[in-house]
A and B are shown apart, each in its own frame.
Chain A
Amino acid sequence: MSSSRPSDHIDSAAPDPSIAQPKLGPIGYLRFFWRQLTSMRTALFLLLLLAFAAIPGSLVAQRSSDPNGVIQYRVDHPDLYPILDALQVFNTYTSVWFSSIYLLLFVSLIGCIVPRSIHHYGALRSRPPKTPARLNRLAGYTAVNAETDAASAVDSARAHLNKLRYRTELYPSTTRDGKASFSVSAERGYLRETGNLVFHTALVGILVSVAIGGSFGYSGQRVVVEGQKFVNVLGDYDSFNPGRFFESDFLEPYRISLDKFDATYELENTQAIGQATDYSAYVTTTTPDGEDKTANIKVNGPLAIGGTDVFLLGNGYAPTVVIRDPEGTVVWEDSTPFLPQDAHLTSLGVLKVPDGLAEQLGLVGFFYPTAAKLPSGALTSGFPELLDPLLTLRAFTGDLGLDSGVPRSVYQLATDDMTEIAGSNADTPALELRPGQVVDLPNGLGTIELTEVKRFASFDIHRDPSQIWVLTFAILILAGLFTGLFIPRRRVWVKATDNADGSVTLEYAGLARGEDPRLEAAVADIAAAHSKQLGLKVEP
């Protein structure tokens, strides 16, 4: 019906098998391939292929969302790992094969949108087409004989159709046997195609926005202990993932101090004691204009500041430890975040003391906010709040490896080249500290004190300049989908023909343009309403 549609669209004319394919030149082949790419069948195939290609990424850990899972997979499946890695399965959604499917799909999509938009623009500016000579083969055909005048009957039909928001056009004609005939041709539902085009264009819009946002945005993580502050400069992030076109002056300078972190845990419901019910990070922010503001960052309530959003993603305990040399001089003092290992915040941490003592000292151990003993004798935490806090540390001396220039994780201690001086493999058992306690380090190295326990919060800081565009296109997708699927596009004709006996035959018929399950009912309604207007009784 419309030339803008792919040839295998259900509304296009079926191909004539009697036409022989002409011999194709180079341009002919290009056109042939382009037609193939923009055909419905190809779009359908690419859609289903895309669905299928997305599956591996859900079966195997992805580097983007679960890097530790990938490392684990490498350990668990040493034979399969190199093959899958070569096939880019660990980066499914940025892999060459996944990208080529969706890029082809989008090329095919654009190849459909452009000609259809041009065609639709023309349709929007044109009048409804001429009334077909024979209506009786069309949907909802109804004919009535009436004692009326053809021209005025068609006029009133037109008025009625206009009221129903049809676009109308009058066409006078003569039938083959010379009788005068008036007809109104009406069309409605142009919004259906508009919605359809908006939907598909918005899909392209989302893809482009995501690509741009990913290139100019950045995300970073930072752990902040109560009382400490974070300044939005590159060096102050714990980890930082810039987009392709990131430049450091994208960072707007601001400062966030974590004043207090509150965690609330269930105490009454016996089925869920110790389950977290609320996390609140109370912060003070300072912007370049020198203005201080307080804010509360929650798990589902990020803070918008300086073009970024600050999310509260994690929290835990940071024991403050003071280490003194044998003379009593403080050589090290810090609140070190310990990483939570379970729901009751049994936490694992590492302290590294490179200077000030006779030897470099590394401490690794657990912090239990509420120490409890398992039947096996091992320690665990029984509750996430500080009811009976206990810090246990194994101590190692030797080379911390900090001077070799190789970056080391602050959460890991390489003990291979170190000597254990306190812990299960040493003469001295692991050091146990409660707040306020001072314990001697083995070998007369000095003393260690747990002065207090603070909370820490880990923040994700994101800047995504295209996010608002993604949202806008997403809303357009929904709006386009709604209008494109549920607004019926239909043509309706009302024709009045003078009969020899002076009466007038009124004919009503409709034509669906796209899915239109209610077309026949709509034509019947129009016929009924119009006949009623003319004071007729309709017998279909």
Chain B
Amino acid sequence: MTLTLETTSLIAVYSAMVVYTFAFIAFTVDLARRSAAEPVAVAASVGQSAATSARTSVLEKTTTDAPTDGPARMSRAMRMAMGFTILGWVLHVVAVVLRGFAAGYAPWSNMYGFAITATALIVGVFLFVQFWQDLKFLGAYIVGFCLAFLGLATVNFYVAVAPQPPALQSAWLVIHVFVAILGTAFFALGGGLSVVQLLQSRREARGGEGMAFLATLPNAQKLENLAYRLILVGFVFWTFTLIAGAVWAERAWGRYWGWDTKEVWTFIIWTIFAGYIHARATRGWRGSRSAWLAIIGFAAVMFNFTVVNLFFKGLHAYSGL
């Protein structure tokens, strides 16, 4: 029975990857269409002399507001992309749940289980954030990123379900890791927005020249505000992760803080994002500088979950990887 659940879970993971691939293609097509399908704004902004810059900004404003007009304006490619993403995500969640039932515990105590859970949560947060703000333009980035991570983990780190080692038999495993992944998901969205913000502000500085699909996206200021609000949520989750980890470390290892490599990197990430939040309140640090901090912070999160897990010695060594 265990084997059946486990195999079904793996099949669901592969199916989700196939569907995500379709979603990724559709998201990319949508971005390509955006580049082509906004002739008004592009024509107005490209190839005009500086004298018409006032007119240009007016035109841009109308197009920047376009994406907030609601689902009615969604392109066909985007509708397909979101449909595929939702379908892929359902399969993905099924895979995680089945893996959990096969194991008999929260299935994120090794690298493979962690990877499938983390990507499921990141896609989930991406989907649910759409109820709050239209961030569908990040779809290619989020789905592409999760697809790559999922593929790498399944090919390189797949391990059969094994019993939970005593060190991990704790409710804190569920809480600590789950919240860490939630924080990661918000940092991922914030990091993606910050990249778009940098592109957008470069384009704005050049008077509208640059990648054409950017004309259909919110302006740099709006992107920065959105990134900031998402990262704030991520930061609260990350703070909780740090504290929950310390509480668990106290239960399991007898000390709440011991500068284990994973603890060090969790601390480094916390400090970078604390810096990001302060940068927002520091004159001269808004805009591109704080965007870079958000990107560095998310890069550190990724480093923590990949390089630190795999190559650094420490107490967070995953059982059988």
A58's partner among B165, B243, B308 (CB-CB below 8 A) is B308
Knowing A51-B272, A54-B271, A271-B162, the reply to whether A65 touches B283 (Cβ < 8 A) is no
B274 close to chain A: CB less than 8 A: yes
In the bound complex, do residue A51 and residue B275 qualify as a contact, i.e. CB atoms below 8 Å apart? yes
B271 touches A48 (CB 8 A): yes
- B35 on the A face (CB < 8 A): no
Cβ contacts B235-261/A at 8 Å (1 or 0 each): 110011001001100111111111111
Asked if A358 is an interface residue, CB under 8 A from chain B, the answer is no
Beta-carbon nearest neighbor of B164 in chain A: A277
Residues of B within 8 A of A481 (CB): 235-236, 239
B282 beta carbon closer than 8 Å to chain A: yes
Partner of B166, one of A43, A272, A279, A478: A279
Q: Are B169 and A271 in contact, with the CB atoms below 8 A? A: no
CB of B279 within 8 Å of the partner chain:
yes
Task: Tell whether A278 pairs with B161 under 8 Å between CB atoms, given A10-B281, A40-B281.
Answer: no
Contacts of B274 in A (CB 8 A): 47
Partner of A299, one of B166, B225, B250: B166
| Residues 284-299 of A at the B interface (beta carbon under 8 Å) | 298-299
Q: Return the contact of A478 from the options B167, B239, B281 (Cβ within 8 A).
A: B239
Which residues of A lie under 8 Å from residue B264 when comparing CB positions? 54-55, 57-58
CA distance A517 to B232 in the complex (A): 13
Q: Does chain A have a CB within 8 A of B70?
A: no
B313: contacting residue among A9, A10, A69, A462, CB under 8 A: A69
Contact between A313 and B254 (Cβ–Cβ < 8 Å)? yes
Expressed in whole angstroms, the Cα–Cα distance for A12 and B281 within the complex equals: 10
Question: Shortest Cβ distance from B313 into chain A, in angstroms?
Answer: 7
CB distance from B300 to the nearest CB of A (A): 8
Interface size range of chain B in the complex: 35 or more
Give residues 269-321 of B contacting A (CB, 8 Å).
Answer: 271-272, 274-275, 278-286, 293, 308, 312-313
Given A8-B283, A58-B264, 15 additional A-B pairs, CB 8 A: A47-B271, A47-B275, A48-B271, A55-B264, A64-B258, A65-B258, A65-B259, A269-B160, A271-B159, A272-B163, A276-B165, A276-B166, A279-B166, A300-B172, A309-B254
Q: How far is the CA of A276 from the CA of B279 in the complex (A)?
A: 48
Specify the chain A residue showing the minimal Cβ separation from B261.
A58
A238 contacts the other chain (CB 8 A) = no
**Smallest Cβ distance from A112 to chain B, in angstroms?**
11
Contacts of B84 in A (CB 8 A): none
**A-B contacts, 15 listed (Cβ < 8 Å):** A11-B281, A40-B282, A48-B275, A51-B272, A55-B264, A55-B268, A66-B313, A269-B163, A271-B162, A299-B252, A300-B251, A302-B254, A313-B254, A462-B254, A474-B246
Q: Are B283 and A14 in contact (CB under 8 A)?
A: yes
Are A300 and B225 in contact (CB-based, < 8 A)? no
Nearest CB on A from B279, distance (A): 6
Question: Considering only CB atoms, which chain A residue lies closest to B243 in the complex?
Answer: A474
Judge if B265 is at the interface, Cβ distance under 8 Å: yes
